[in-house]
Amino acid sequence: MATAGTSLVFRQLFEKESSTYTYLLADKDTKEAVLIDPVVDTAERDAKLVSELGLKLVYVINTHCHADHITGTGKLKTLVPGCKSVISKASSAKADILLEEGQKVTFGKFSLEVRTTPGHTNGCVTYVLLDESIRMAFTGDTLLVRGCGRTDFQEGNPATLYDSVWGKIFTLPDDTLLFPAHDYKGQTMTTVGEEKRHNPRLTQTKEKFVEIMNNLGLAYPKQIDRAVPANMMCGLQD
Ligand SMILES: N[C@@H](CCC(=O)N[C@@H](CSS)C(=O)NCC(=O)O)C(=O)O
């Protein structure tokens, strides 16, 4: 297991139209890098940063098939030849690597462990950084800061999401740093302990949670009709 304090490169990047966070992680020593949840509109920015930092992008990883923006995965495969696309098998999307529960994505001396966390979509996963000195998890849309992903389309299911969060994320140590795929209020990160105490939805009973989620009344994402078909192919390929 690695020690992040000495050799983890970490950047949180933002795409403002969809309020999406993209994460760059790399091993400072081996230079191997991964991007989590890139957006097509900012793929060139991300590729430039990878190059400027002298990193070698090995994997472009998705937490799920997004409905609100087109993933940057396909474009990054064009911009950075050799990197591989990654998503869960349960997403039914096309990618070079299809992940299942417990599998690991390794870059240098670091690994991200896959925890399947369905509920927002069937194929949602959370990636947990296995490290001795810092605990981090990338929750996609499963768990947001003081919120969670909606469950009203793409086979969403509120009871399933509740079980995913309590069974696969809230079982991590309280000091685990959590990084979501979106935030709409300027918040950047949270911790397991914070969300267990203060998440207004997930602190409720499962029955109350289901009622809340079934009555959110959110408008559909503006780009859903073009984003989902494109993301089933891991984004635009040229
Ligand atoms: N207005 C945005 C879409 C906002 C939205 O629906 N966000 C999703 C995650 S992206 S599918 C969500 O789960 N939100 C939960 C919530 O409580 O807000 C757009 O048009 O793209």
Report the separation in Å between the CA atom of 221 and the middle of ligand 1, taken as the mean of its atom positions.
6
Q: Which residues of the chain have pLDDT under 70?
A: 1-6, 237-238
47: number of CA atoms within 13 Å, CB side?
18
State how far the Cα of 138 lies from the Cα of 152, in Å rounded to an integer: 22
Containing structural domain, residue 114 = 4-217
ipTM score for this prediction:
0.99
218 lines ligand 1 (CB under 6 A): yes
Question: Which of these, 57, 114, 58, lies nearest to 88 by C-alpha position?
Answer: 114
> Tens of pLDDT along 97-134?
999 999 999 999 999 999 999 999 999 999 999 888 89
Does residue 234 form part of some domain?
no
Residue nearest to atom 19 of ligand 1 (CA): 221
Q: Which residues have CB under 8 Å from 224's CB, separation 6+?
A: 67, 68, 153
Quote the pLDDT of residue 130.
Answer: 87
Does residue 142 form part of some domain?
yes
Does residue 79 form part of some domain?
yes
Length in residues, the chain: 238
158 lines ligand 1 (CB under 6 A): no
Report the separation in Å between the CA atom of 121 and the middle of ligand 1, taken as the mean of its atom positions.
13
Q: What are phi and psi of 230, to 5 degrees?
A: -65, -40
Quote the pLDDT of residue 132.
Answer: 83
Quote the pLDDT of residue 238.
Answer: 58
Residue nearest to atom 21 of ligand 1 (CA): 221
Does residue 235 form part of some domain?
no
Question: Which of these, 173, 131, 168, lies nearest to 148 by C-alpha position?
Answer: 168
Per-residue DSSP letters for 36-71?
ES-BGGGHHHHHHHHHHTT-EEEEEE-SS--SSS-B
* Residue to probe by mutation, ligand 1, list 15, 68, 201, most atoms within 8 Å of CB: 68
Say which CATH number the domain at 166 has. Answer: 3.60.15.10
Most distant CA atoms of the chain, gap in Å = 50
How many domains does the structure of the chain reveal?
1
Does residue 89 form part of some domain?
yes
Quote the pLDDT of residue 65.
Answer: 98
